[in-house]
Amino acid sequence: MELHLILLFMICASVAAVESKDLISGVITLSAAGLGLSLAFLILKAPNLAITQLVVEILYVIILIRAIINKDLVLIKDGRWLFNTISTFLFIGSFLIFAFFALKELPNFGQPIMKVAGEYLKSGLGQTGSANIVTAITLNFRSLDTLVETAILFTAIIGVLAIIRKVGKIYDPEKGKR
Amino acid sequence: MSNEKGMSLIVKTVTRLTFGLIIIYGIYIVLRGHISPGGGFAGGVIITLSFILLMLAFGKDNVLKKLNQSRCLTFSSLGALIFLFIATAGFINKQKAVGGKEHFAIFGAGLIPLCDIAVSVMVGTGLFLMFFALVLLVEEKEGK
């Protein structure tokens, strides 16, 4: 149910991002769609992927906004310092209170929960034949993860080579493409 | 090999002595990734670093004659494709992916050493390409 709501929200946000006249509002609605994707990963019980999606989301919103706004940002310095200070202290205080209750639930230091890791340690050598347990996990139990990581590295290299290259097509409005 | 390019005579002699040893150590790290610490990523980076050392000591022309950009790109794509093929094969035939009974042999762990070799080829040539793009091409652009 929540998944369908989030998918509907993402579709609406994508359509709004395409249809918006202003570039910066388009970027902001697109980031809303990405946030919905992160929440969808969280509902589908993939927290690792949700964190990665959130971080990449933040990074590309920063890059896009930095690329769109060529002018320097106007900073408003006077007048609102009391409101700013009070809201900052309120946020820090609420964060500390929530962190205090959340950190109580974590396991003690030096006594981790060995639910999955214990299974790997027990049956790693027998099932994979690899004495190095890290390699057994990264290349056998979690091999698809390593595959996608390699694909990410490969894509990054292709992108860097495509951006920094000597020969390329330069668009010239008078003569057309050359 | 001209003597004007690159660093001084001491650096060149030491590089000539240690170059082969570094490559052998990288291959050792790659092939024993499932027995001792290491693996494809670390071994590939060590092999790449030996080539970068060669480039720093002797100038870039001697290395780029043998390992230019298009050849690097070919090797990198080949490594990625081999890894994709091995992963798909292990996904289809699950029995072959499981290692044999001989635990500390080099080819005793099923598909893991092959995966290590493919990852090392891909990562090594890929990082060399990254070095190539970020250092050499930028230097050429600034020189113009």
Distance in Å, alpha carbon of B95 to nearest chain A alpha carbon: 10
Distance in Å, alpha carbon of A152 to nearest chain B alpha carbon: 11
pLDDT for residue A178: 43
Q: Compute the average pLDDT of residues A82-108.
A: 90
Q: In this complex, do A164 and B137 lie within 8 Å of one another by their Cβ atoms? A: yes
Structural domains counted in chain A: 1
Q: What is the pLDDT of residues B124-143, one digit of tens each?
A: 888 888 887 777 666 666 66
Give me the interface pTM, i.e. the ipTM: 0.77
Answer whether residue B3 is part of any domain: no
Average pLDDT, chain B: 80
Q: In this complex, do B103 and A129 lie within 8 Å of one another by their Cβ atoms? A: yes
Q: Which residues of B touch A168 (CB under 8 A)?
A: none
Answer whether residue B103 is part of any domain: yes
3-class state of residue A171 by DSSP: strand
pLDDT for residue A26: 86
The answer to whether the CB of B69 falls within 8 A of the CB of B83 is: no
Question: b/e for A68-99, b at 16 or more Cβ within 10 A?
Answer: eeeeeeeeeeeeeeeeeeeeeeeeeeeeeeee
- The verdict on B39 touching A (C-beta cutoff 8 Å) is yes
Answer whether residue A40 is part of any domain: yes
Distance in Å, alpha carbon of A116 to nearest chain B alpha carbon: 19
- The verdict on B73 touching A (C-beta cutoff 8 Å) is yes
pLDDT for residue A71: 53
Answer whether residue A18 is part of any domain: yes
Structural domains counted in chain B: 1
pLDDT for residue B2: 47
Res A8 pLDDT > 60: yes
Answer whether residue A66 is part of any domain: yes
Give me the percent of chain A exceeding a pLDDT of 90: 20
In chain A, what is the greatest distance between 2 CA atoms, to the nearest angstrom?
70
The boundaries of the domain holding residue A4 are 1-71
pLDDT per residue as tens, chain B (144 positions): 445 677 788 988 999 999 999 999 999 988 888 888 777 888 888 898 888 888 888 877 777 787 777 888 888 899 989 988 888 887 777 666 565 566 677 676 677 888 889 989 998 888 888 887 777 666 666 664
- The verdict on A132 touching B (C-beta cutoff 8 Å) is yes
Burial of A150 (0-12, 13-18, 19+ CB in 10 A): buried
The boundaries of the domain holding residue B102 are 9-143
